[in-house]
Amino acid sequence: MTLPFADTNFAEATWILVVKSIVIFAVIFAIVPVLTVVERKVLGRFQARYGPNRVGPYGLMQPLADAVKLVTKEHYRPRNAIPILWPIAPALVVFTGVATLAILPFGDVKDGVGFYGIDVPIGILYFFAFGSIAFYGLLLGGWASGSKYSFLGAMRAAAQLISYEISMGLALLGAIMMAGSLSLVSIVEAQHQVWYILPQFVGFLIFMVAGFAETNRAPFDLPEADAELVAGYGTEYGGMRYGSYAMAEYIEMFVISGVAVTFFLGGWHGPGPGWLDPIWVIVKIFAFLFLFMWIRATLPRVRYDQLMSLGWKVLLPLATLNVLVTAVLVTVT
C-alpha cells in the first residue's frame, strides 16, 4: 500500500520550477481569453445567433478588444467603498485561481520534468484551501463596496461556499480512498486501469453540482444573479477590477474542470504516445468547459433557499453515504 503522501524524494531544480510556473502562467493567460470568446460563440450557437465575429478572424481578437477597453476604463471607486480592501478583493480572486493551477497534473514525470506545477503531498487540500480564500475575494469585494446589492451578493457567496465545499470535499474523498493518496499525480496514476468516473459515479455527480456552485456558474450564479442583485458582489466594480472577477471565474472553471478530469476522468490517460498526455488533459478539460457553457445556456437559476436545501439536505447526505460505501468496499477488497 502506498503511503498517503506524494513521493517527496523526487525533487526538481529550481530553474525548472521557475520555467514551469512561467509556462503554466502563460498558457492559462492564453487560454482564458480564448475561453471567453469560445463561451460567447458557444452560447451564440445555442441561442440561434452567431456570437462575436467582427474582431479578427472568427471574432478571435474580441478578448483583446475587451481587455483594452477594460484596462483603459476609469478606475471608479464609490465613496462608500473601503479603500484598501476594495481594490484588493478582485486581485485576491485571480491570485487564488492561478495558484490552484499549480497542482493540476498534465502528465507524469518525463525526462526528469514533472508535467505539473508542483506535486504537493497534501494535494487536494491545497485546492480547497485556495478555493476558500477565493471566496474571501468575493466576500470582501461585496462587503467593501459599501453597496447593499454587493452586500447581499457577498452574503450569498459566503453561504454558498459553506454549503457546497463540504459536499465537494466528501465527493472527492471516495476517489482519494480508492487511490490511497492525496497527491493528484498518484490519484491519476491509480486510474491507469479504470477511470474513477465508473466506480465513483455518485461522487462525480456530486462534485460537478458542487463545482457549478463553487464557480458561481449557472444555475448556481446566485452571488451575481443579474436579475435580482444587478451583479451581486461585482455591482460596484468597473474596468479591469471587474475584468479580474470575470477572468477569475474562467480560471476557476478551468480549475474545477481540471480537478474533475484528474479525479474522475483519468487525468492524462488516453490512447497515443506519451507526449499526447497534456493534450488529453486539455481536451478533457475543454469537454467539461463545454458542459459548463451548455448548462449555462439551458438552465434557469435556482432560488437561494433551494440552493441551500439542495446543498445540505441532498448533496451532503449523499456524499456522506458515498464515502461510507466506498470506505466499506475499499476495506473489504
Taking the CA of residue 308 as centre, how many other CA atoms within 13 Å lie in the half-sphere pointing to its CB? 8
**From the list 8, 34, 194, 226, which residue makes contact with other proteins (rule: CB under 8 A)?**
226
Give the shortest CB-225-to-other proteins separation in angstroms.
7
Task: Among 72, 300, 331, 332, indicate the residue that binds other proteins (CB under 8 A).
Answer: 300
Tell me if 36 sits within 8 A of 250, measured CB to CB.
Answer: yes
Handedness of CA 92, 124, 326, 266 (dihedral sign): positive
50 binds other proteins (CB under 8 A): no
- Asked if 299 interacts with other proteins (CB under 8 A), we say yes
- When asked if residue 306 is in the footprint of other proteins (CB under 8 A), the reply is yes
Complex with other proteins: residue 175 or 206, whichever CB lies closer: 206
Q: Give the span between the Cα atoms of 191 and 208, in whole angstroms.
A: 19
Q: Based on the shown chain and the rule CB under 8 A, indicate whether residue 148 belongs to the binding site for other proteins.
A: yes
Give the closest residue to 254 by CA, choosing from 222, 216, 288. 288
Q: Is 76 in the site for other proteins (CB under 8 A)?
A: no
Helices in 226-303 by DSSP H: which ranges?
226-229, 239-264, 277-298
Q: Rounded to whole angstroms, how far apart are CA atoms 176 and 188?
A: 10
Shortest Å distance, C-beta 61 to other proteins: 24
Closest contact distance (angstroms) between CB of 151 and other proteins is: 8
Stretch that binds other proteins, among 174-182, 193-201, 216-224, 254-262 (CB under 8 A): 216-224
Least distance CB 322 / other proteins (angstroms): 22
- Residue 300 beta carbon to other proteins: minimum distance, rounded to whole angstroms: 4
Residue from 246, 301, 320, 330 in contact with other proteins (CB under 8 A): 301
Q: Are 184 and 106 in contact (CB under 8 A)?
A: no
Q: How far is CA 223 from CA 108, 170, 220, in A?
A: 37, 23, 8
What part of residues 77-136 is at the interface with other proteins (CB under 8 A)?
Answer: none
CA 176 vs CA 3, 10, 36, 63, 182: distances in Å: 12, 21, 32, 38, 6
Minimum CB distance to other proteins smaller for 3 or for 162: 162
The amino acid that residue 217 corresponds to is R
Say if residues 162 and 280 touch (Cβ distance below 8 Å): no
Task: Among 27, 118, 158, 230, indicate the residue that binds other proteins (CB under 8 A).
Answer: 230
Mark the segment that binds other proteins (CB under 8 A) among 18-26, 57-65, 181-189, 291-299.
291-299
Is residue 47 involved in binding other proteins (CB under 8 A)? yes
Q: How far is CA 87 from CA 66, 159, 161, in A?
A: 20, 23, 22
What is the binding site for other proteins (CB under 8 A)? 43, 46-49, 148-149, 152, 218-219, 221, 225-228, 230, 296-306
